[in-house]
Structure 1
Amino acid sequence: MASDRKPPPATPGPPQRAPEWADGLKQLYDSVVEEDLPDSFKDLLARLDEIEPKRAPGQGGGGSPSPDDRGARP
């Protein structure tokens, strides 16, 4: 039974500290997250936003059928 289980015994002493490399990895991650997007990437996103969306699948727009459209007959 689950109620019969006991939590593992606590280890005596101070709590375990994360390894040294964990601090470096967190600093690297934080620096990447805070980094600004390059101008070329911003330009690409702006151009993609300007493109008129084509018909969505299932609305007669052609393209690849979705898994739900496979085997469907007109």
Structure 2
Amino acid sequence: MVREQTITVEPKGRPGGNGRKPEWAQGLKKLYDSVVEEPLPDDLTALLARLDDEGKK
């Protein structure tokens, strides 16, 4: 039997840094999150569906 194991790695800051995120980090995260939440375009969704159907044959 194969057991799954979760390993957590804490990111290390820069040597001599104070561990705080730069001011722009929060804005970048908001931008990333907004892009991730956007729906896929219809033509890309259709292409993925076609590829999925062909893979089942």
Q: Give the structure 2 partner of residue 49 of structure 1.
A: 52
What is the total number of aligned residue pairs between the two structures?
A: 40
Q: Give the structure-2-normalised TM-score.
A: 0.54
**1:4-50: CA deviations, max 9, x gaps?**
xxxxxxxxxxx864222101110111011111111011000111112
List structure 1 segments (4+ residues) > 6 angstroms apart after TM superposition.
none
Instruction: Tell me the amino acid that sits aligned with residue 45 of structure 2.
Output: K
Q: Give the structure 1 partner of residue 35 of structure 2.
A: 32
Identify unmatched segments of 5+ residues in structure 2.
Answer: 1-17
- The higher radius of gyration belongs to 1
More helix as a share of residues: 2
Identify unmatched segments of 5+ residues in structure 1.
Answer: 1-14, 55-74
- % same residue: 65
